[in-house]
């Protein structure tokens, strides 16, 4: 794929690999084994669970396999006892797929409040102090049932101070949920360092797999207030007991699982782990930071306006402002450069397989677009 495409959209979908293609071939071959295929399918799912757990520094018993981040968030929301607490503290920078789950809890009287997006104007029109931990702390109190914070924001690529926020939340008696989808696979992520109680991430971005598989880490899976309402046969103590009259839940995180997971995505997940596990993710993070510096500097030299968080709080992508980001993204794709439009921006994300030549190709294609369509209008955006 990389021979014909400059892939700068791993924040949306990781690059297709030979390893992934071969894994799907193995799955197709395993399908010929009849009933024996299911044993191999289950082995792939269990192996993916264990490998994700190892990547984040957790035990496999604390990781559930779920179809996507939304289901992971719902499983958390539905099993937390109210304990007289009616508030969920989230962020305006949260990905909607997570935030909408929290908002849906409003039917039982839950209040959802949002810390401002880092750097955005606050209600009185003044500039934000750019203190995400302080913004969260101002909203967390004895009413708080759950605190939700993205590790890296999906839009601007801002690394949030999760450990600081978690300390405040725990002092108030509230657990912490982390969306790490934009972080796992491209930087070190350790749940003990974050201090989180829950973490969700999936396989289709920097873990180089397919859509259809995600993981939910639960620090203490057997000690939550309620059992899951959304469940299925894989959520049982013994799924193969086939007892239609018994609804039991294991103490492990598998209690949050439902029906048959996406088997192709499990095979692809293990192919992605084959590529990611040998990497030093601290080196990958530094490599990506250097490329985002290069991309931002080169684009600004051409008169472009980019959003780039400070280096100490930067994820794996740069945001390029454009009045018509979808149009720019289509043009770049036609010229062999894959990016990811979101909102007002074109997101330019880097991974271990990207290099300075990719940045040069991007800048040349953007310049060609401007020559054809004119400048982006000189609009200034916060950076």
Angle between helices 356-373 and 281-301 (to 10 degrees): 30
Mean pLDDT of the 91-119 span: 93
CB 264 within 8 A of CB 286: no
Beta strands 111-115 and 87-91: pairing type?
A: parallel
- The reported pLDDT for the residue numbered 83 is 77
Q: Give a yes or no: residue 5 inside a domain.
A: no
- The position carrying tokens 């201090």 is 195
Domain that holds residue 293: 280-373
- Same domain (yes/no): 199, 338: no
Percent of the chain with pLDDT over 90: 89
Q: What is the pTM of this model?
A: 0.94
Q: Give a yes or no: residue 143 inside a domain.
A: yes
- Same domain (yes/no): 216, 364: no
Count the domains in the chain.
2
Q: Give a yes or no: residue 36 inside a domain.
A: yes
Q: Indicate the residue among 248, 277, 306 that finishes a domain.
A: 277
- Taking the CB of residue 283, how many other CB atoms lie within 10 A of it? 11
- The reported pLDDT for the residue numbered 375 is 66
- Same domain (yes/no): 303, 255: no
- 323 backbone φψ class: left, alpha, beta (φ>0; ψ -120 to 50): alpha
Q: Give a yes or no: residue 381 inside a domain.
A: no
pLDDT band of 140, cuts 50, 70, 90: very high
- Same domain (yes/no): 71, 177: yes
Q: Indicate the residue among 259, 277, 295 that finishes a domain.
A: 277
Q: Is the pLDDT of residue 87 over 60?
A: yes
- Same domain (yes/no): 269, 284: no
Q: Is the pLDDT of residue 126 over 70?
A: no
Q: Is the pLDDT of residue 82 over 70?
A: yes
- Same domain (yes/no): 259, 297: no
pLDDT band of 119, cuts 50, 70, 90: low
- Same domain (yes/no): 259, 223: yes
CATH code of residue 330? 3.90.1150.10
pLDDT band of 313, cuts 50, 70, 90: very high
The tokens describing 83, both together, are: 């304990």
- The reported pLDDT for the residue numbered 378 is 41
Q: Give a yes or no: residue 6 inside a domain.
A: no
CATH code of residue 89? 3.40.640.10
Q: Is the pLDDT of residue 137 over 50?
A: yes
pLDDT tens profile 281-307: 999 999 999 999 999 999 999 999 999
Mean pLDDT of the 211-234 span: 94
Q: Give a yes or no: residue 380 inside a domain.
A: no
Q: Give a yes or no: residue 204 inside a domain.
A: yes
CB 215 within 8 A of CB 49: yes
- The reported pLDDT for the residue numbered 58 is 98
CB 79 within 8 A of CB 142: no
Residue-wise DSSP of 309-353: --GGGB-SEEEEE-SSHHHHHHHHHHTTEE-EEETTEEEEE--TT
pLDDT tens profile 331-362: 999 999 999 999 999 999 999 999 999 999 99
- The reported pLDDT for the residue numbered 383 is 39
- Same domain (yes/no): 285, 250: no
- Same domain (yes/no): 37, 99: yes
* Higher per-residue confidence, 380 vs 47: 47
Mean pLDDT of the 234-239 span: 96
Least confident of 111-120, 145-154, 231-240: 111-120
Q: Is the pLDDT of residue 127 over 60?
A: no
- Same domain (yes/no): 156, 286: no
- Same domain (yes/no): 334, 207: no
Q: Is the pLDDT of residue 230 over 90?
A: yes
pLDDT band of 125, cuts 50, 70, 90: very low
Q: Indicate the residue among 244, 277, 310 that finishes a domain.
A: 277
- The reported pLDDT for the residue numbered 198 is 98
Q: Give a yes or no: residue 8 inside a domain.
A: no
Round the average pLDDT of the chain to a whole number and report it.
93
- Same domain (yes/no): 367, 258: no
pLDDT tens profile 27-80: 999 999 999 999 999 999 999 999 999 999 999 999 999 999 999 999 999 999
């Amino acid at each position: 794929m990389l021979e014909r495409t400059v892939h700068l959209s791993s924040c949306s979908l990781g690059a297709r690999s030979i390893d992934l293609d071969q894994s799907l071939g193995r799955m197709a071959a395993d399908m010929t084994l009849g009933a024996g295929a299911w044993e191999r399918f289950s082995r792939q799912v269990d192996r993916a669970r264990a490998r994700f757990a190892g990547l984040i520094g957790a035990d496999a018993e604390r990781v559930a396999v779920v179809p996507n981040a939304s289901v992971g968030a719902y499983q958390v929301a539905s099993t937390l006892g109210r304990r007289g607490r009616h508030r969920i503290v989230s962020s305006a920078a949260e990905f909607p797929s997570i935030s909408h789950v929290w908002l849906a809890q409003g039917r039982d009287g839950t209040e959802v409040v949002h810390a401002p997006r880092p750097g955005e104007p606050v209600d009185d029109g003044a500039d934000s102090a750019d203190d995400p931990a302080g913004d969260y702390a101002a909203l967390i109190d004895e009413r708080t049932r759950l605190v939700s914070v993205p590790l890296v924001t999906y839009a601007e690529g801002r690394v949030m101070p999760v450990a600081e926020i978690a300390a405040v939340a725990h002092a108030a008696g509230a657990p912490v949920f982390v969306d790490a989808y934009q972080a796992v696979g491209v930087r070190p992520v350790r749940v003990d360092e974050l201090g989180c109680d829950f973490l969700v991430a999936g396989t289709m971005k920097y873990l180089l797999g397919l859509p259809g598989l995600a993981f939910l880490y639960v620090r203490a899976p057997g000690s939550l207030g309620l059992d899951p309402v959304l469940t299925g046969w894989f959520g049982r103590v013994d799924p193969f007991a086939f007892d239609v009259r018994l609804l039991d839940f294991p103490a492990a995180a598998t209690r949050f699982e439902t029906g048959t997971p996406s088997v192709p995505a499990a095979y692809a997940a293990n192919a992605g782990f084959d590529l990611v596990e040998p990497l030093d993710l601290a080196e990958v993070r530094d490599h990506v930071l250097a490329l985002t510096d290069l991309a931002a500097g080169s684009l600004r030299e051409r008169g472009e306006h980019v959003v780039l968080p400070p280096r100490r709080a930067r994820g794996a992508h740069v945001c390029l402002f454009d009045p018509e980001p979808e149009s720019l993204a289509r043009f770049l794709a036609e010229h062999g450069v894959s990016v990811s439009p979101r909102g007002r921006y074109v997101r330019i994300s880097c991974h271990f397989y990207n290099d300075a030549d990719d940045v040069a190709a991007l800048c040349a294609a953007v310049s060609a677009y401007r020559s054809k369509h004119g400048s982006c209008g000189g609009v200034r955006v916060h950076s």
